[in-house]
Structures are given as structure tokens and as C-alpha cells.
Chain A
Amino acid sequence: MIDARSELKERLNKVFRDVFDDDSIEVVDAMTAKDIPEWDSLMHVILVVAVEKEFKIRLNAAEVGQLKNVGEMLNLIEKYSSR
């Protein structure tokens, strides 16, 4: 059986590569904005919208601000996708 979380991570990785226009990105749970130089507050908005579109989910305002690292992002995606 394919691990659901690694499948989500694979899709999330694609979103990151697309948004930051960098095919060398490999996301890991601990990855934060500090690890990607372009990941500033402006790019964060684009990233969140791209994630919402890829996974067809809708985060609430507080969650948009809370997404500090990839692990948290995956948790949220899991939470919404399982509904």
C-alpha cells in the first residue's frame, strides 16, 4: 500500500517547485521559510493559494498565517483531505 502521507508530500513537493520555480527543491517535514531564500511573506501568500488549489482545500485565516513549516502544512492538508 502506498503511504498516503508520502503521496501528499510528493504532490506538495511539486507545488513548491512550481511556486519557487526551482526543480531542485526536496521538501522535508522540518523545512521552514529559512531554508528557501525566496520564501518571504509575499511568496507565502502565493504558496498558500497554490496549496489550496492543488489539494482543493480551503484554509481559514488563522491557518494561513500558522503554516510555519512543511510538516504543519502536511498535517493541515491531511486534516482537510480526510474530511
Chain B
Amino acid sequence: MMDTTQKKEALKGIKQKMVVGHHQEAFDSLVTLSNPDDDFILQTKYASFYNSIAGHLLVLKKIRVAILASSTTTHFIDVLKFWLAQEGFSAEIYESEYSTVHQSILDPQSQLYAFNPDIVFFFSSYRDIKCDLPPGSSEMQVENTIHAAVNECVSLWQVLRQKSNAHIIQCNADLPYLRIFGNYETTPVWGQTNILRQYNLNLAKALEPGVSILDLDFLASIYGRRKWHDSRFWYHSKHAFALDAIGLVAHELAKTMGAIKGTAKKCLVLDLDNTLWGGVIADDGLDGILLGSGADGEAFVDFQRYVLKLKERGIILAVCSKNEEETAKEVFLKHPDMVLKLEDIVIFKANWKDKASNIKEIAEVLNIGLDAIVFIDDNPVERELVKSNLPVVSVPEMPVDPSGYIDAVTSCSFFETVSFSDEDSIRSHYYRSNIERAEFQNQFTDLSGYLKSLEMEMIVDAFDEFHLPRIAQLINKSNQFHLTTTRYSEGEIASIQNNKDQKGLYFKLKDRFGDNGLISAVILHKQSDASLYIDTWVMSCRVLSRGVEEFICTEIISLAKEQKCLKVIGKYIPTAKNKLVAELYGRLNFKMVKNEEGITHWELLLNKDTPSFNPYIKKITNSTMTSEV
């Protein structure tokens, strides 16, 4: 790791690249150089370097962020832009005038609404929370005060959400380190520390779809609470926390925004020797590797426990190791201290090919983007090879000491999320049964025989509250099977049901290998010219090539007919990732009517000749399900 002086030297080199116009290269070097823990001076340097090349970086997606704060945020915003760029976003930021949070939300004519943000960040600190009670206050007084303070937030969210579709991020209270009663603060209900802790818990309970919390209190604690509250710069210029923590906060906020917009990682690819256990299995043998006992052995067990917890929350695990497959698998089967089992690993690559090719194959089999992959390897040579061949794969630096492995991965915040659904907890199972399906398919010589034998059943229903988190997740995380690039917050999706000219449908697929979960969602707009426009169509790539697209198309057609529409209209907006569906409408017998610089418009006229597809999937509605019970 470089120190601050070395990093300042490195910045001079990056400046040279900027001067000669190598903007992307300069940005990539900034990404490699920067760390959330770097001090304020370095962060402002990164921000100003980024600011001068931002216009030349083509791959960034636009995002509009409004920051509503009761403290000074100008430096923070510059630094945030740099960290958002690392998430792939070019941010346009609206900053409320100092201390005008309420006005900008309550006034429908305010610049906030004119700005039309994708995300609104309520940047508050403990100073904004009116929870000061005299010592000895009753439990009832405490409860009422906390309730009122939480309600103040909730009512602002509600007003905002009536007028805007933005996703909201709300800070919780960073506990102060001043404690009038010292350690006793934490004992009575009226203690200020206790009140703020309860406030934080109640704030989380009051969350609505489309609102997430940024855990400012956690950031204060990992930074060091005493340093975090640097009151000098509060008195001087209303900076709410220590300037040197600016990178830490900006990084975490950027990751949270990335999670909202679907840029979080999906798959962890793991090396084996010296990554999951100490030593080399081929040389040291089952009883020679370090796992279970001894300091290193315990650290490796703990790292495996951490990885297993990631799997349980929906991260797919794969292995990529230079080993004989049988030797490597033997550890999983026979070592008593292995926490990870073979069934936790969706794809197991133990061979002698280069790791970049293996990782590419893993991405292909799983049907996920390379940018959704994190690769963990103790060997710097392997890391470098993957980084240089597959620059979009995330490859964290790993320390030599295995007791630092967990921290090396967690400090990168790869797996931030703003929701958790049933689908997440059994995602690994979905991918495993897909691989079983592929093996099963090999027994068939014709596709239709295979599809028939899958015994597929599909539940089709209108969007409802219960499925909202998963629908939002699917729309916001899908990149490959997503025709129009739309991203909607839970709030926006919920409002579809109240619009008589819009309809949202979700699809859940089951087959002989088990439940595939909620795998597709469509949003349809009935237009005044008696056409039905497919605003959004997303589908999990897990279920490709099984006639699901045809089934869904048939559903759209029958809905269009029911609505007395004369045609169905679809659009394809090309991105770097959705080539997969460029010809989808063509395959479904739509006619291309317009091509505007790659954006293609398609229509399907509805008449008696309109084809219907797919005899392989049986439709089940939720009502028929209930009648079966």
C-alpha cells in the first residue's frame, strides 16, 4: 500500500496522462490509486482530476442526484461524483440551498422537482434530530419524542414521493461521543445515547418501499467516533463530520446508489490453495493443509464462513483453481473442517487453463456479465492476469495474512443491496438446477421433446405489494434481457396498479427440477391510438431458450385483445449488454417499422392471423392455485 506522499507522486504521473489526452487511462489509474480511506486532500485531488476528464469518459451512465442537507456539502459532492464514476455513473447533482430542506420538498414549484432527480439523499446528522429530553423523562415522553422525530422524516418522504419518483436515501443518526452521564447514558430510557439508538431502530421500521437508509452511525464508528466529530469545522464552516472521512462516506453512498441502480456484484469466484485453506493440496495433502486448527487454520475457516453467508444471501459461488479436479474436490468431500460444501459451489473449475478464460466461461454458463464478478485469489500474479485480461472483473487486493481476508473483501462494499427477497436466499439453487437441466437436455435429440418433458408451469398475475421488492430488483438489475433500459423504484412500480392505462404482469416458472421463482416482469401502456406499448420487458437469463419469451408474448397479445387494442408496439434500445434481445421482436413475428440510429421500433398487428405460441408451458393463475388448496 502506498502512503499519502507516494500517492501524491503517482498523481503527477496521472496528470501527465491527462495532459496528453489519455483520459480513460488516467481515469483507470485514478481508480486503482484511490481508496475510500485516503485523506481529504487526496480525495479533493481525485475529485478535481476526475472533474477535468469527466466529459471525455464515454461509458458512464447519467444519474441525477439531489442532495438535501443541513450542512455544507460542496466538497462532499465533488468527491461523491468521483466515487459514483467508479460505479459507472456520470452524476448531475442538485444541491439544496443551505438549510432549505423543508422548503424545497414542500414547494411543488421548487427547483428540486424541476431537477427531476433519480435519487434524493437526505443528508442529516444527529444535530438535526430533535430528541433532547431532560434527565428523568418518562418512558411515554421518550416514546412520543422519538415517534415525532421519526414522523418528521416519514412525512417528508411522503410529500416527496407524491411529487417525484426518486428513490430516497435517508441518513440515520451518527451518535455523538459526548455523553453527559458518561457510561450511565446507556442505562435509562431517557439517556441521549439510548434515545438516538432507538431513533435509528424506529427509523428503519418506518421505511417504505423506495426509501433506504445510509448507516451514518456505522461509518462514524468504523472511522473512529472521536475523530469523526471534528467540531472545529462544524463551527467554522458547518461540515457535519471530519473532512478526512469524506472518502469513506462518499464511497458507501455511491455503493448504495449503485445497489439501487443495479450495479452490485452477483458472483464470487474463488481460488482454492492459500485462499480457502492454507498450503497447496497437491503438495501438502489432506492432513497437511492449514484448515481448522492453528491461527491460520482458524482464519481460513472464518473466511469460509463469511463466504457461506454471502451465498446464503444470494451471491453465487464459483471455484477457479489450478488443480486436478479430483484432488481439489476431495478437500470439499473429506476434510472435516471444510465449511463450504460442493453443493454450495455452482460452477467448479479446477484445471490448468488460464484463469481469465475460466472466468469468462463461468460468466457465460451463468449468463451474467463479467462486471458482476468478484475474483478472490491470494496470488498477485493470477490477480494481475485477470485484471489485465478482464478489466471489468473486480479483483480486490488480498493481504498475505489470511486473518485480513474478510476485511479485504468487505471494505470494498461489493455486495451492497437495498432489498432481500426469497429469490435471493435460494438463488444458488436456481443456478444449480439449471446445470442439472442442461445435463438432462443432453438425453434428448430434439428440443421440443426436452421442453415437453420439463413439465413447465407458469403463474401469471398483476403486480402486487407482496412481489414488489422482487419485481423492482428484476427491473433494476437486469441488463441483458432488458429491451428498453428502464429503471423504476418500488414506489414507481407500486403506482402502476393505480393507473388504469397501465398494467404490470409478473411471471413465475416451475418445472420438474423445482421452482425457478419470479423470472420475468412486463409493464404495458395502453395508448390512445388503440395500441398496447411494451414499456418494459425484463427476464432472468436463467430461463432463456425454454419458450418463456413466446409464452409471455402470447400473454401480452391476449391482454391487448382483451383491452380492444389493434396492435402491440415494442421498442429495442441497444446497450453494451442487451444484444441478446436485439432480434427478440423479430423472432416473435413483430415487424420493424422504424430504426433510429440503432433504436428499433416494432409492431404486431392483431387479427385472426396473429400467431399464438408455445404448447410447452401450462398457465396457472393465482386464483386457480387457491381453488386447488
| Residues of A near any B CB (own CB < 8 A) | 18-19, 21, 41-42, 45-46, 49-50, 53, 58-61, 64-65
Contacts and interface: CB of A to CB of B under 8 A. Distances in A.
Interface in B194-247: 231-233, 235-237, 239, 243-244
A42 B236 contact: no
B41 A53 contact: yes
A41 B41 CA distance: 15
A64 B41 contact: no
B38 to A, nearest CB: 12
B503 interface: no
A46 B74 contact: no
Contact of B40 (A46, A60, A61): A46
B515 interface: no
A61 B232 contact: yes
B8 interface: yes
B435 to A, nearest CB: 54
B44 interface: yes
B41 A49 contact: yes
Nearest to B49: A21
Interface in B1-60: 8, 39-41, 44, 48
A60 B40 CA distance: 18
Nearest to A42: B74
B335 to A, nearest CB: 49
B98 to A, nearest CB: 13
B75 interface: yes
Contacts of A50: 41
A18 B5 CA distance: 12
Interface string B546-588: 0000000000000000000000000000000000000000000
A64 B231 CA distance: 12
Main secondary structure of the interface of A (DSSP, over half): helix
Contacts of B75: 42, 45-46
Interface residues of B, number: 17
Given A18-B8, A49-B41, A58-B232, 6 more contacts: A21-B48, A45-B75, A45-B233, A53-B41, A61-B231, A61-B232
A45 B8 CA distance: 19
8 contacts: A21-B48, A49-B41, A49-B243, A50-B41, A59-B232, A61-B232, A61-B235, A65-B236
Contacts of A61: 231-233, 235-236
Nearest to A18: B8
Contact of B44 (A46, A53, A64): A46
A49 B4 CA distance: 14
B8 A41 contact: no
Contact of B233 (A18, A21, A64): A64
Contact of A64 (B40, B74, B236): B236
B239 to A, nearest CB: 8
Nearest to A50: B41
B40 A49 contact: yes
Contact of B39 (A18, A53, A59): A53
Contacts of A46: 40-41, 44, 75
A61 B231 CA distance: 8
Contacts of A53: 39, 41
Which 4 residue pairs across A and B have the least CB separation, nearest first? A61-B235, A61-B232, A64-B236, A61-B236
A46 B48 CA distance: 12
Q: For B8, B75, B236, B237, which residue has the most chain A Cβ atoms within 10 angstroms?
A: B236
Max count, chain B CB within 10 A of own CB: residue among A53, A59, A61: A61
Contacts of A65: 236
Contact of B243 (A41, A45, A58): A45
Contacts of B39: 53
Nearest to A65: B236
Interface in B243-261: 243-244
B41 A60 contact: no
Contacts of B48: 21
A54 B244 CA distance: 14
B159 to A, nearest CB: 31
B243 A64 contact: no
Nearest to B39: A53
Given A45-B237, A46-B40, A49-B243, A64 B232 contact: yes
Nearest to A45: B237
Nearest to A46: B44
B69 to A, nearest CB: 15
A41 B237 contact: yes
B577 to A, nearest CB: 38
A53 B243 CA distance: 12
Contacts of A60: 232
B611 to A, nearest CB: 63
Contacts of A19: 41
Contacts of A18: 8
Nearest to B74: A42
A64 B48 CA distance: 23
Contacts of A42: 74-75
B201 to A, nearest CB: 33
A49 B242 CA distance: 11
A71 to B, nearest CB: 20
Contacts of B41: 19, 46, 49-50, 53
Nearest to A47: B41
A58 B242 CA distance: 13
A41 B239 CA distance: 13
A37 to B, nearest CB: 15
A59 B8 CA distance: 24
Contacts of B243: 45, 49
A64 B244 CA distance: 16
A66 to B, nearest CB: 10
B223 to A, nearest CB: 16
Contacts of A21: 48
Nearest to A54: B41
A53 B44 CA distance: 14
A64 B233 CA distance: 8
Nearest to B43: A46
Contacts of B44: 46
A58 to B, nearest CB: 8
Contacts of A64: 232-233, 236-237
Nearest to A64: B236
A67 to B, nearest CB: 11
A83 B629 CA distance: 82
Interface string B61-75: 000000000000011
